[in-house]
Amino acid sequence: MIPLPSHAPSKKSMNFPTSVFCIFLIFQIFMAGSCSKDKDTFGPESVQPEAPIIESRKESGEPDEQETEEQEEEQEGHSEEEEVEEEGSAEEQPQEETMPEGQQEEEQQEAPEQEGQQEPPPSGPTKSVEEITIFPQNHPLHDDVLGASVDDNSDAILEHIGLQTNIFADFGSGTYQGEPIGIPYVSVGSDQPKVPIVFRGNGTDGNYGHQSEKGPFPIPLDAPVEAAFVGDGHVISVDVDNGMLYELYNAQQVGNGWEASSAAVFNLNTVEFRPEGWTSADAAGLPIFPLLIRYSEVASGEIDHPIRFTLSRNKIYEGYIHPARHSIQGEVGNHLLPFGARLRLKDDFDISGFSQENQVILRALKKYGLILADVGVDMYLKGDPNENWNNADLRELKTIKVENFEVVEMGQIKTNQ
């Protein structure tokens, strides 16, 4: 072996500085890489991946200071996030465990609350409308006018209506223009849910909410509406368990309730009337249902109330008599008939040639008469739609004319003022 010169470095002395130099280079490279990673991932500029979130917060009106605070918090959490990443994806998802307890309880209660909102369907009425009291017997709508005096203006009024004008049964079985014939109603029980009523005007009529009970009312959302070809849109619900009557005019089912121009509520167990000057679902401020010719009562053999009828506006006096409560704009004169007035079939009119069902109607016209309740076609009598009506038989009533009637003494006529 040839000895090295004394000035030449040993293998150990050559490797040490070289090793240090290499370590220094590796350290520099490592630090450069770390700085590059930090710039892309952390620090004040680390919000670049979060830019869409920050933008949406600006749109929502949150201050920019909050964004800065969140960025600083993200910086402080840098080391913790690195540790989580190293531990693996299995530990990256326990964020749900940090949800506030109150929020967890609310979410747990949400499903039961939704289930609690589902109410069982109503059981329905427990009896028919003919089994309940429809106003006490001392109510004016049960007054017998068979022996009442004839009004002094009877002849003038009947002549103005038209002596040869016939009565017409505006109800029956089957359909007309695809809809039932007559004014329908629905009977409900005490557990029928009450729904909101919104008052509005439309192309048919105005808003009379200021003369209406406000609801909510127990009217089913599928309650029948009077045929569109009539134009009045009456809806009637009879609560047979509580003896309450709910009526709407110009009604339409919308959303979770009904829209209407007016509404009226009547307690069928009492003698009560609407406030003076108030309308109802009828222009006269009278109830509709108790004045209809219902097949069920005709089948029982007796009608114990006057029968609702209409006249055109130019035949109606601008006023009303008890128990009506409301009038329409028009004229006054001895030849006009006010709301609430009655026409009585003359006692000597022979009804023996009519069917048994029609005789029930005609006996009522002698004892209780017709009562003017609304604007409409002259001498139209109103009843309920029922498949048991014999339409051909009802048409026989057209042989009866205005000249066969007389006006019952009216007494004082009031106006809305």
Could you tell me the mean pLDDT of each successive run of 10 residues in the chain, 417 residues long?
41 44 49 41 35 31 39 42 43 43 42 53 85 96 97 98 98 94 96 97 95 96 91 95 97 97 98 96 97 97 98 97 95 97 98 98 98 97 97 98 98 86
pLDDT (0 to 100) of residue 417: 65
For the chain, what is the domain count? 1
Tell me if 37 is assigned to some domain.
no
| Alpha carbons 31 and 34: distance in angstroms, whole number | 5
By C-alpha distance, which of 298, 284, 309, 402 is closest to 358? 298
* 3-state secondary structure labels for all residues of 210-264: HHCCCCCECCCCCCCCCCCCCCCCCEEEEECCCCEEEEEECCEEECCEEEECEEE
Taking Cα atoms as reference points, which of 266, 299, 298 lies closest to residue 285? 266
Residue 280 one-letter amino acid: S
Taking only Cα atoms into account, the Rg of the chain, rounded to an integer number of angstroms, comes to 42
Residue 104 backbone zone (phi > 0: left; psi -120 to 50: alpha; other: beta)? alpha
Is residue 29 included in any domain, yes or no? no
Amino acid at 227: A
Tell me what pLDDT residue 85 has.
Answer: 44
Q: How far apart are CA 211 and CA 122, in angstroms?
A: 30
- Spatial neighbors of 133 by CB under 8 A, at least 6 apart, are 243, 268, 269
- Tell me how far apart the alpha carbons of residues 173 and 394 are, in angstroms, rounded to a whole number: 10
The Cα–Cα gap between 369 and 306 comes to: 5
Calculate the alpha carbon distances from 336 to 320, 393, 396 in Å.
11, 31, 28
Quote the CA–CA distance of 409 and 218 in Å, as a whole number: 38
| C-alpha span between 371 and 365 (Å, rounded) | 10
The residue range of the domain holding 313 is 129-407
> How does DSSP classify residue 285?
S
Helical H segments across 227-381, by residue range: 295-300, 356-367
Q: Give the per-residue pLDDT at 276.
A: 95
What is the rounded CA–CA span in Å between residue 257 and residue 307? 30
The set of residues, in sequence order, having a beta carbon less than 8 Å from that of 97 and lying 6+ positions away, is none
SS3 at position 402: helix
Residue 53 lies in a domain: no
Determine, yes or no, domain membership for 318.
Answer: yes
Helices marked H in 77-168 — which ranges? 78-87, 101-116, 154-161
Cβ proximity of 260 and 248 under 8 Å: yes
Instruction: Identify whether 44 is part of a domain.
Output: no
Q: How far is CA 201 from the centre of its chain?
A: 15
Amino acid at 328: I
- Residues 6 or more apart in contact with residue 191 via CB below 8 angstroms: 122, 123
User: What is the Cα–Cα distance from 261 to 104, expressed in whole angstroms?
Assistant: 47
Instruction: Confirm whether 100 is domain-assigned.
Output: no
Find, among 416, 332, 369, 361, the residue nearest to 157 by Cα. 332
Tokens of 370: 């017709």
370 closest CA partner among 186, 211, 165, 73: 165
DSSP designation for 81: H
Considering the domain boundaries, does residue 11 fall inside one? no
Q: Is residue 90 part of a domain?
A: no
Distances (CA, A) of 240 to 52, 178, 251: 62, 29, 22
